[in-house]
Amino acid sequence: VATVSGYADQAHLVRDWREFTGRSPTVWRRGEVLLGTG
């Protein structure tokens, strides 16, 4: 996903993700699943 999205590596994607959403992709995804939207 990181490479397809134009990131050089996963760590860069995760840093930007945290900055944008305020949480890690894993924590964000858990919330989506619990809400039934994921």
Q: Determine the length of the chain.
A: 38
Provide the pLDDT for residue 37: 66
Phi-psi region of 35 (alpha: psi -120 to 50; beta: other; left: phi over 0): alpha
Residue-wise pLDDT for 4-27, tens only, equals 889 999 999 999 999 999 999 999
Contact 33, 25 (CB under 8 A): no
Taking the CA atoms of residue 13, residue 4, residue 9 and residue 25 in that order, the dihedral angle to the nearest 10 degrees is 30
Provide the pLDDT for residue 32: 77
Provide the pLDDT for residue 16: 96
The two structure tokens encoding residue 25:
């992709």
- Kindly report the pTM of this predicted structure: 0.66
Provide the pLDDT for residue 2: 84
Residue-wise pLDDT for 24-35, tens only, equals 999 988 887 777
